Chains A and B, each alone.
Chain A
């Protein structure tokens, strides 16, 4: 009547058995292969953090030769701008309209008269010069020159180089001549048109000159490697085992600050002294003196102090605060 398999299963049950085994195997395989497992996060590494509110001062004294003084005094007479062929070039280009430029230029320069003088001299000569931009507008050129007369005063270097330039006669020299159209400059062509009051050689070797000084060390000392908080905590750490606060009413309110001096090897120099005491009330007045004595005794017992070696090269006087916190 019904088809029976060897295990006494009906056809549906045989199919069911096959489905069940297949499903279980599929489930196990899925559990094994699926990325169900979460990655174990490694706990963060423990790190020590030191809280320091104070850091020892760095040397703050100013360097005397941080700002070099100019080598040369202000120029006298008509300034030379022999080595200034470059500035005039951008100016005519930058100011196609000559109107705004001439206005500021005459103001600082009290000699507007030279204008007509250089014009005839300058006109023939600039043509071979590498200034084709300036050529089309003859007006801006002289105006620009007037401006150069002002600038050399500000730039001392330009003036100092003026002398060698005059000797070597570079391509800019022809320009210098019309600029120095001043009657004074003509009799002495060898000398710079604008001269310094003091020769630059005169200043050689003085501090603040362009040659660096021999002092390579800044005047202050650096203590940046050791913070004041480090020193303080090191001292209180070493005082702690020797400090026992006196017992009594309100004794925990007493705060004694002891000042002491240390030698370079950490031993006590002299006797520790009371620097300040606070928190004295009527109740704990009998303990106040004992508090001080115990604090001094603790400092004596704790000596010699083991502090970083470079501390002693900068500090010798120390203070230590004795209070209830230290005894805990």
Chain B
């Protein structure tokens, strides 16, 4: 419905203009499917990009604020009770560590070495879970970045095949017969690249951001682990 409107809007202007909607509507059904899928992938890629950027901004800001308050807090338990409910990765790491600490120190005898190991494991798993959660959709970026050009190429090959078939059917090999079909077919490759290029760039950039965030969490966890170890010796 909207496509028809856009195509009509394009048809009003010069007929020679490169109208993507007209190209899409004139293309073969397979090419249309490829283009539609790639367009959806592109929308999804941009959804991930925007969502990730927003998330990493808010998360990073909250984590820094939380850590500042954490190291200055006199009573960690009270601070955690106040801040722990919030959607902060660092807070969840602390929650996991504190839960393990309580479980390990609940008994009469305390296995210090075993408690240290369990604390470290609990925090490590909490950190990696946070990193995984952050990077949950990045694999889609990687997939689109590597596959979308091939999908577009498939649409192009199919479209070129179709337009050669049309040449044979029309018994006319003039450029006017071939050109529109090839143009529509190449449009599939263009859409594939249009989806893939931002996906690849975003994937590389966001992988770096996730790993940086993860190392930041690990540093915090190590520091907190040191605090808890000192606490065990007392």
Q: Enumerate chain A interface residues (CB-CB to B < 8 A).
A: 1-2, 9-10, 12-17, 19-21, 23-24, 28-29, 31-33, 35-40
Contact B43–A21 (Cβ < 8 Å) = yes
Contact B13–A20 (Cβ < 8 Å) = no
In the complex where A15-B54, A16-B54, A36-B17 touch, is A24 in contact with B47 (Cβ < 8 A)?
A: no
- Nearest-neighbor residue (CB-CB) of A20 within chain B: B46
Pairs across A and B, CB under 8 Å, 18 listed? A9-B47, A12-B50, A12-B51, A15-B51, A19-B50, A20-B42, A20-B50, A21-B47, A23-B46, A24-B42, A24-B46, A28-B20, A31-B18, A32-B21, A35-B13, A36-B17, A37-B18, A39-B14
Contact B47–A16 (Cβ < 8 Å) = yes
Contact A37–B13 (Cβ < 8 Å) = yes
In the complex, whether B16 has a CB less than 8 A from a CB of chain A is: yes
- Nearest-neighbor residue (CB-CB) of B39 within chain A: A24
- A residues near B17, Cβ cutoff 8 Å: 35-37
Contact A24–B43 (Cβ < 8 Å) = yes
Contact A1–B87 (Cβ < 8 Å) = yes
Interface string of B48-68 (1 = CB under 8 A from A): 111110110010000000000
Bound form: Cα–Cα A14–B48 in Å: 9
176-228 of chain B: CB within 8 A of chain A: none
Contact B43–A12 (Cβ < 8 Å) = no
In the complex, whether B30 has a CB less than 8 A from a CB of chain A is: no
B133 to chain A, nearest CB (A): 9
A40 to chain B, nearest CB (A): 5
In the complex, whether B99 has a CB less than 8 A from a CB of chain A is: no
Contact B16–A38 (Cβ < 8 Å) = yes
In the complex, whether B19 has a CB less than 8 A from a CB of chain A is: yes
- B interface, over-half SS: helix
B1 to chain A, nearest CB (A): 13
Contact A2–B137 (Cβ < 8 Å) = no
A138 to chain B, nearest CB (A): 86
In the complex, whether B37 has a CB less than 8 A from a CB of chain A is: no
- Nearest-neighbor residue (CB-CB) of A37 within chain B: B17
- Nearest-neighbor residue (CB-CB) of A33 within chain B: B9
In the complex where A32-B10, A33-B9 touch, is A12 in contact with B20 (Cβ < 8 A)?
A: no
- Nearest-neighbor residue (CB-CB) of A31 within chain B: B20
- B residues near A29, Cβ cutoff 8 Å: 6
Bound form: Cα–Cα A38–B137 in Å: 41
- B residues near A35, Cβ cutoff 8 Å: 13, 17
Bound form: Cα–Cα A8–B43 in Å: 16
Contact B55–A10 (Cβ < 8 Å) = yes
1-43 of chain B: CB within 8 A of chain A: 6-7, 9-10, 13-14, 16-21, 39, 42-43
Bound form: Cα–Cα A23–B87 in Å: 29
63-84 of chain B: CB within 8 A of chain A: none
Bound form: Cα–Cα A13–B137 in Å: 10
